A = this chain, B = another copy of it.
Amino acid sequence: MKHTTIIALLSGPDQPGLVSMVSSWIFSRGSNIHHADQHKDTEANIFFQRVEWRPSGDIKEESTAFKEFASQELGMEVKVALSTDLPKIALLVSKIDHCFHDTILRFRAGEMAGQIACVISNHKSLQKAAEAYGLPFIYLPIDTNNRADSEEEQLKVIQSYGCELVAMARYMQILSDDFLARLALPVINIHHSFLPAFAGGKPYHQAHSRGVKLIGATAHYATADLDEGPIIHQDVTRINHRNSVEDLVRKGRDLEKSVFAQAIRLHLDNRILVYNNKTVVFD
């Protein structure tokens, strides 16, 4: 049987002895480190650490105490989670359904340390499918006149379900700066190109037109600058002159599914730290 562990993600100004102070704190409580990984950006002078340990005593007390220790004594930004946590996720979809099905099936297969709380869409196309999976489906149509109202509604839904993550499964709407700021939650988007190549719309058409020999997919945190957010994961596949745009779309679906899933998994496993519009991924 697997024991519940505490996972801490730390970042902050580098200083001598951080690894020692963190590990000694854990050891001094009789607890046992299972994994620890750290990174320094020597130019930016920032220290990053992911440490996972099995607590000796009360897990809630120990995780709270660690949080205090890391933030107050070490001056680090810190996030603490338990390996048994199952944070709630809002899935944003439009009509395209491959990432929708793939993501939900992975959660149902137990691959993901979280739970899909609701599906939000600007179309009704996937309502039946979502409900067949037993998931609440919230239809929030968006057009140029109601964008602000619709986002207001989205915000309420996401908050009412207690979501801690938003995942855009090929959601075909841009999230406004205001929405992202007020949401104040991580949002993972999947873009169907190897960014920064072919940002913007119709990347498979762009790729076909440019005659590249590889197509890609990029999962990134959504920011106010479209397709400019911190990249979490990328992958590519080979194409050739025989492939039409439709072939690229089909081949790309497999990339999008696996890259999106991998990014969500890494996030839920508390393996990602963001700084300077980049990610540290402790995989």
Chain A residues close to B by CB (< 8 Å): 16-17, 19-21, 23-24, 26-28, 30-40, 97-98, 101-102, 105, 109, 111, 132, 194-198, 210-214, 216, 230-236, 240-242, 250, 253-254, 258, 276-281, 283
Contact = CB atoms under 8 A, between A and B. Distances in A.
Contact of A19 (B36, B40, B258): B36
A196 B197 contact: yes
7 contacts: A17-B23, A20-B27, A211-B231, A211-B278, A211-B279, A213-B231, A241-B281
Nearest to A236: B236
Contacts of A198: 196
Given A34-B40, A196-B210, A231-B213, A111 B19 contact: no
Contacts of A98: 105, 109
Contact of A196 (B212, B240, B276): B212
A140 B181 CA distance: 56
Nearest to A193: B197
A131 to B, nearest CB: 11
Nearest to A241: B280
A113 B39 CA distance: 22
Nearest to A277: B211
Nearest to A261: B254
Please name the 3 residue pairs, one residue from A and one from B, whose CB atoms are nearest each other, closest first.
A211-B278, A20-B27, A20-B23
B210 A231 contact: yes
Contact of A36 (B28, B38, B102, B105): B38
Contacts of A234: 212-214
A109 B98 CA distance: 8
A17 B29 CA distance: 10
Contacts of A101: 101, 105
Given A98-B109, A101-B105, A194-B194, A241 B278 contact: yes
B194 A214 contact: yes
B30 A20 contact: no
B212 A236 contact: no
Nearest to A254: B258
Nearest to A196: B197
Contacts of A102: 105
A89 to B, nearest CB: 19
Contacts of A281: 213, 240-241
Contacts of A212: 194-196, 231, 234
A214 B216 contact: yes
A115 B31 CA distance: 44
Contacts of A254: 258
